[in-house]
Amino acid sequence: MDLHDIAARLAVPVEEVERVAQLAGDRPSVPMPARADAPELLDRLAVRPDDAAEIMQGWPDSSSPLWTPELRWLLDRSIALIHADLAGHGWLSPGPELPRERGPAWRHLYVYAYLALVDVARGYHRDHGVPDDVSWRSLADLGRNLAIDRRMRGEGWPVMQSWLTLHVRGSIYELGRLQHHRGDTAIGLHVPDAGPLTPEAVAASLDDARAFFARHFPDEPYTAFSCGSWLLDPQLREYLPEGSNIVRFQQMFELVPYEEKDGPDADVEVLRFVFRTLSTPLDQLPRRTALQRAIVDHLRAGRHWHWRHGRFPI
């Protein structure tokens, strides 16, 4: 198919289709799991029944009328694009943001790409001796993110479709409370939506990571843990008590100097994480916790949150 025609049919800029074609090239794709195996796989990946039902409804069977030629092309080339960067740890968009209101095939196209690559990721994990429980727990971030996107009424997915490529490339490992992201010389830390960020849980996760990466990736010379997040914004200390979990998490890091354009828009990301909404007016957001009150009061005062980067030695 002509790339301009594909872009027009997908209602996306042609440059984004050209990018997918260039990165995927003529590299081979990976077949989808058998439809009969999908319910068990979705369960292993912690996908909720409502999300699983939609995914099954839009399943890319060869005879499905939902799957137009341009959608099939994008799914095939998106899988090839991600597969080509197996073991890569950089941010990777699998393809253009689609008009997801068009139905389950459009809404979940990049979920199908993820599902196709689960066996590839599992094979990569086995090659590095990663235990099955760590492998499945790490890959099950799919279910968590689908549930968050449903809660956000579809506002969360454009970021998540890129985030989840890290898992099926073998770059993200969930070890206790934190997710650990392979990098060049530092292990990146991510904080999933999984309960209190207690110092004890954080310390245990860091200990697990020290042993895990030394055992399974001994050729990667990590010297530090790093994090980029609004959670590291020192302005939070104006609102939160000194002994709060977030402040104690901040205290582990040495921050790098702040640059205004460094990282995502922290005002957006704090709303995404704390309230799971990007469109609710500030005066309608809940104020049940000290963190919620801090976020709202800060923004209503015309101030902004900052995306900060920090690190500390392993």
pLDDT tens across the length of the chain (314 residues): 799 999 999 999 999 999 999 999 999 999 999 999 999 999 999 999 999 999 999 999 999 999 999 999 999 999 999 999 999 999 999 999 999 899 999 999 999 999 999 999 999 999 999 999 999 999 999 999 999 999 998 887 788 999 999 999 999 999 999 999 999 999 999 999 998 999 999 999 999 999 999 999 999 999 999 999 999 999 999 999 999 999 999 999 999 998 877 678 999 999 999 999 999 999 999 999 999 999 999 999 999 999 999 999 99
Check residue 262 and give its pLDDT. 67
Separation between Cα atoms, residue 36 and residue 34, nearest integer Å: 5
**What's the Cα-to-Cα distance from 127 to each of 41, 131, 166, 172, 174, rounded to whole Å?**
21, 11, 17, 15, 18
